Amino acid sequence: MKMVSVTDTGRVRSVNEDRAVIQHDVGGYSLAIVADGMGGHQAGDVASQMTIDIIREELKSLSSSMTVEECKLAVKEAIRSTNRKVFEYASAREELQGMGTTVVVLLASGQLAILGHIGDSRAYKISGPSILRLTEDHSLVNELLKNGQLTPDEAERHPRRNVLTRALGTEPDAQPDVQHLSLESGDILLLCSDGLSGLVDDQTILSIVRGESELEAMAQSLLQAALDAGGDDNITIILASGDSGPASGGDPA
């Protein structure tokens, strides 16, 4: 599984509170994580970095002999355990109280991928001429959209579109969404913070990815599109493909 990542502070923010990591050979899987931190006084980058570090540690015990359901449970429990540790750490430090982060976790091997997420960082699958959003935003605006109280156009412009209904580290317990999916030859998985998805629509993402032949070029073109659209948030992108050559990556972005 080849994976690449890019991250950028953007054109407005002074600190990058996003974190990303790629790690290969985690119990026979390739692991990718994107976390978008939030909180004043740089607490957001503390939350996102802790989340990346703890989830990696929690998943070290994965084994290639585990079933898909066991791996899904491991991802769920890794996220919930991380949530407890981040919440307890922040609760004991006045300057960090209220900090939190989104997270999206990918385990991928061959034709199988397992995804876990909390918040509004997203995962997509790009397959042939189509793009499929794999995650559902845990946000106020998405709840209003599902209930028919907003149209898609209204949701895009809503002043509270960044308000989350679920995040990691803000409550004693958290309930991540976890799923598994099958991959076919040529499929590309995209993980991103809302610095990309909040400024670049799904169809534009699809056309950019399909306009490039290499993952590195796709990632740089997506990053540039978000910057060109204003770059008003931190931007983080991970792309993964099962048949794009030898594995690459490894260090936190």
Q: Tens place of pLDDT for every residue, the chain, 253 residues?
A: 999 999 999 999 999 999 999 999 999 999 999 999 998 667 999 999 999 999 999 999 999 899 999 999 999 999 999 999 999 999 999 999 889 999 999 999 999 999 999 999 999 999 999 999 999 999 888 888 788 888 777 777 776 777 899 999 999 999 999 999 999 999 999 999 999 999 999 999 999 999 999 999 999 999 999 999 999 999 999 999 986 433 333 444 4
Domain 2-130+168-241 - what CATH class? alpha beta
DSSP H helical segments within the chain, as ranges?
43-58, 68-91, 140-146, 152-157, 194-197, 202-210, 215-228
Q: Is 41 helix (H, G, I), strand (E, B) or coil?
A: coil
Please tell me the distance from the alpha carbon of residue 75 to that of residue 57, in angstroms, as a whole number: 12
User: Would you say 238 and 190 are in contact if contact means Cβ atoms under 8 Å apart?
Assistant: yes
Q: Dmax over Cα atoms in the chain, in whole Å?
A: 49
pLDDT of residue 100: 97
Query: How crowded is residue 38: how many other Cβ atoms within 10 Å of its Cβ?
Result: 22
Query: How crowded is residue 61: how many other Cβ atoms within 10 Å of its Cβ?
Result: 11
Tokens of 14: 């002074």
DSSP category for residue 10: -
User: Would you say 19 and 253 are in contact if contact means Cβ atoms under 8 Å apart?
Assistant: yes
For the chain, percent helix, then strand, then coil, each to nearest 5? Answer: 35, 30, 35
Q: Is 194 helix (H, G, I), strand (E, B) or coil?
A: helix
In order, the DSSP letters of 55-121 are HHHHGGG--TTS-HHHHHHHHHHHHHHHHHHHHHHHHT-GGGTT-EEEEEEEEEETTEEEEEEESS-
Selection from 165, 82, 175 nearest residue 119 by Cα: 165
